[in-house]
Amino acid sequence: MTSISDFHSMNLNVYLGKSKGGLPASAGTRIEDLPPERQAEYAEAAAQLKEAEAKYKALDDLMAADAKGHESNRFNAWNVANLNRDQAIQQIRYITDMIVSGEADTTVLQAANGQTTTNNYRQYVYWLQQHVKDLEGAGQSTLAQA
């Protein structure tokens, strides 16, 4: 049984006039028997197909590399509005450590507080601290300022 891929390759070769042997009766007109304009259309379609296949191969290679894992310089932080008190405190400690160690200088932050977003680490820590205060009932936070 012929697979779709085999059939596709066979048809491409027929369109390009590269088929070996005769065509089956159901194949219709050969490319080289068509007027030059139609031959050019088929050649253009074949070039577009090859370009699309190259793009898909590059995408497959990129996805394979992603599946293996790679070093990232982007940090996607949790949305402040979705955190409970303990999670927010843990995030404050983690982000503060990133700032103090200098890691924040080389890592792009993507953070949100509800629908509001920021890429500023200090703003994110401030949001976390305010969130903890709100959860504790507007009392004074004992957390260190970053």
Q: How far apart are CA 10 and CA 21, in angstroms?
A: 12
Output the six-digit token pair for 109.
Answer: 């932050």
Q: How many CB atoms lie within 10 A of CB 109?
A: 18
Residue pLDDT tens, the chain, 146 long: 444 455 455 555 555 555 555 545 555 678 888 889 988 888 898 899 999 998 888 888 888 777 766 566 888 999 999 999 999 999 999 999 999 999 999 889 999 999 999 999 999 999 999 999 999 885 544 444 44
pTM recorded for the entire structure: 0.47
Domain residue spans in the chain?
Answer: 4-68, 74-136
